Amino acid sequence: MAEPFHDNEAQERFELDVDGVIAFVTYRKSPGAITLVHTEVPSALGGRGIGSKLGRATLEAVRAQGRKLTVECDFIRNFMKKNPEYNDLLAEGADAQDEPAASYKASCFCGAVEVEVTGKPVFAGFCHCADCQAWSAAPVNAFSLWKSDSVRVTKGDGEIGTFNKTEHSYRKFCKTCGGHVMTDHPRMRLVDVYANLLKGYEHTPTLHVNYESKTLSVKDGLPKYRDLPSELGGSGEKLPD
Ligand SMILES: [Zn+2]
Ligand SMILES: [Zn+2]
């Protein structure tokens, strides 16, 4: 008979076989590292401490394999809180996931509209497109792009006006003061909250986009994309500073 606990690499999961019923932890491996993604203990096994047994066996296996650990799974995260002897397995910085994600507030010019973002932006940089220039009446727009579900309106929802010239960008502003707040990019499922409005947030730009339309050169050494990087659906082509 096979060991009750084993690493099923074909299915990318650690399995614990309890009388023919399998509880498991799914993972992604890369050389020297592992991310624990999700734990499932069938309800038939509930109330027998199987989850803890599986958690312990999984973390022992990670230790035996000498892999640096990242945890996406809430179950394992909670298990590790109760069993801190496994914390040394965590990859550098991975334990930061344990801390509540930071959130930042942005408000319009008059303060009637308030938006909150949580976590970290997916991209942060500067946009030089003609639309951003025309809408903001400024040469460059400092953007921070967040996943739609990490952005929420905390005040003045009814005060928000929306204008879209294209299907890509729904630009949102305060109807009272005209201050710009954010741009929804539904196709990318990302929302650009204007970096300068976010209080306490440190804008850490990593790129310039739509540099082909620039009216201002910025010699900061960051990559200058002609349009957009390929991850955002662009050509990925770069231009000189
Ligand atoms: Zn306002
Ligand atoms: Zn733009």
Ligand 2 midpoint to CA 141 (Å): 7
User: What's the length of the chain?
Assistant: 241
The ligand that comes nearest to the alpha carbon of residue 140 is 2
Ligand 1 midpoint to CA 102 (Å): 24
At 104 the pLDDT is 95
170-174, strands of its sheet edge to edge: 160-163, 170-174, 180-185, 190-194, 141-147, 123-127, 207-209, 224-225, 238-239
pLDDT tens, residue by residue, 82-137: 898 999 999 876 554 556 678 999 999 999 999 999 988 999 999 999 999 999 99
User: How many other CB atoms are found less than 10 A from the CB of residue 170?
Assistant: 16
At 31 the pLDDT is 86
Q: 141 and 127 in contact (C-beta within 8 Å)? A: yes
Ligand 2 midpoint to CA 64 (Å): 49
The 3-state secondary structure of 168-193 reads: CCEEEEECCCCCEEEEEECCCCEEEE
Q: 214 and 138 in contact (C-beta within 8 Å)? A: no
13-18, strands of its sheet edge to edge: 5-8, 13-18, 21-30, 33-40, 68-71
Ligand 1 midpoint to CA 135 (Å): 16
At 96 the pLDDT is 47
- pLDDT truncated to tens, each residue of the chain (241 aa)? 457 999 999 999 999 999 999 999 999 998 889 999 999 999 888 888 999 999 999 999 999 999 999 999 989 999 999 898 999 999 876 554 556 678 999 999 999 999 999 988 999 999 999 999 999 999 999 999 999 989 999 999 999 999 999 999 999 999 999 999 999 999 889 999 999 999 999 999 999 999 999 999 999 999 999 999 988 889 999 999 9
Domains of the chain, first to last: 5-98 (3.40.630.30), 103-239 (2.170.150.70)
User: How many other CB atoms are found less than 10 A from the CB of residue 222?
Assistant: 14
pTM for this structure?
0.60
- Quote the CA–CA distance of 240 and 93 in Å, as a whole number: 34
142 Cβ neighbours under 8 A, 6+ residues apart? 125, 126, 194, 195, 196, 203, 205
Q: From 182, 237, 171, 188, select the one nearest 209 (Cα to Cα).
A: 237
Long-range contacts of 47-51 (CB under 8 A, 24+ apart): 48/18, 50/16, 50/18, 50/23, 51/23, 51/75, 51/79
Beta partners for residue 185, in sequence order: 190
At 95 the pLDDT is 54
Beta partners for residue 155, in sequence order: 114
Q: 130 and 122 in contact (C-beta within 8 Å)? A: no
Ligand 1 midpoint to CA 142 (Å): 19
Ligand 2 midpoint to CA 131 (Å): 6
Q: Which value, in Å, is the radius of gyration of the alpha carbons in the chain?
A: 23
